[in-house]
Homo-oligomer: A and B are copies of this chain.
Amino acid sequence: MVTNQQAAEMLADYDKDDIKIATVCSHSSLQIFDGARKEGFDTIGIAVGERPKFYDAYPKGKPDEFIVVDEYEDIIDKAGEMRDKNAIVVPHGSFVEYMGSDKFKDLEVPTFGNRNVLDWESNRNKEREWLTSAGVEMPGIIEDPEDIDQPVLVKYHGAKGGRGFFIAKNYTDFKLGIDRDQEYHIQEYIMGTRYYMHYFFSPIKQEGYQMDRGVLEMLSIDRRDESNIDEMYKLGSQEELRKMMIFPSFVVTGNVPVVLRESLLPKVFEMGEKVVDRAYELFGGLYGSFCLETIVTEDLDFKVFEISSRIVAGTNPFISGSPYSELMEENLSTGRRIAREIKLGIERDELDKIIT
């Protein structure tokens, strides 16, 4: 893995007046490029396969130049070229997932955020250890399938992009549904409404919601669209459809903007604080964008079912600002906030606190 020390050395050679922001052409790249341009940065689009044409339709979100590779894993070979261009890489979900977090850790280009988080995020047990030891509530785990006495979600390990889950209401459901050739874990099925909160933690900004090590922000909230579960009910009930061998899937296809009951905001910030503080204790910090993926129960409790430690695609509805970020300043997306942080890091000569 590229160490913080190595990242700092790479940065030392950079021309700070000509930093470029680079990311992979997918996921939230339009927003990242748009935000970078608004803050005065040139941008590099890393395209896998071919230079995508759709950016031509969105001039503000189009990178200034492209680096084209055949496969995600070939990105690693472009590190030298990127460093020559003074590139700082902004990772997003698809970037890390498709390149592979191990490869990503070895990418010899300064990257925004803490790469150490990857070890904690990509392993379900360590993720749970981090979040629960921080004091955040998660859905309970059922160790023994025979103990299933309430609805549960069975998740196969390595399940990605919303596939590889199933719902069981009892042990019989479990036995009928399980593929024992795959590793899985069983968690309590939480009833409620989902909110994906888009946080930002800055160890270098001065004003705002103060924590020991910096300031915490929450810029926007979305809810994910999932195919086919979202509209499945229109065809019939889960129970009847199962008889026809039609099963739910949870593939993310898009996002809708939401706002949260205002009285829950104190809890939102407290959760963010706990997760950030614990990250500093465990692995050197969580800085930049992150997202807590939560369910709000009928008792108005949050259950966190996942954390994403970088920009999520759920920020895309808010490319020109959200009902939350508008209370900070006009026209502030998460993509722009990232570029702003890098700019601030350059101005204050504190890039080492936000780049690894």
Contacts and interface: CB of A to CB of B under 8 A. Distances in A.
A235 interface: yes
Given A236-B169, A297-B228, A328 B57 contact: yes
B234 A169 contact: no
A265 B235 contact: no
A216 interface: yes
Nearest to A248: B234
A214 interface: no
A12 interface: no
A218 B54 CA distance: 10
A198 to B, nearest CB: 12
Given A57-B208, A298-B227, A258 B255 contact: yes
A258 B256 contact: yes
A318 interface: yes
Given A54-B266, A239-B237, A323-B320, A251 B313 contact: no
A142 interface: no
A257 B256 contact: yes
A195 interface: yes
Interface string A162-178: 01000101000000000
B29 A262 contact: yes
Contact of A59 (B56, B163, B229, B328): B328
Contacts of A234: 167, 229, 232, 238, 248
B259 A255 contact: yes
A326 B317 contact: no
A326 to B, nearest CB: 4
Contacts of A216: 57
A263 B296 contact: no
A309 to B, nearest CB: 19
Interface of A: 26-30, 34, 52-54, 56-61, 94, 151, 163, 167, 169, 189, 191-195, 207-210, 215-218, 221, 223, 225-240, 244, 246, 248-249, 251-266, 268-269, 296-300, 313, 316-321, 323-324, 326-330
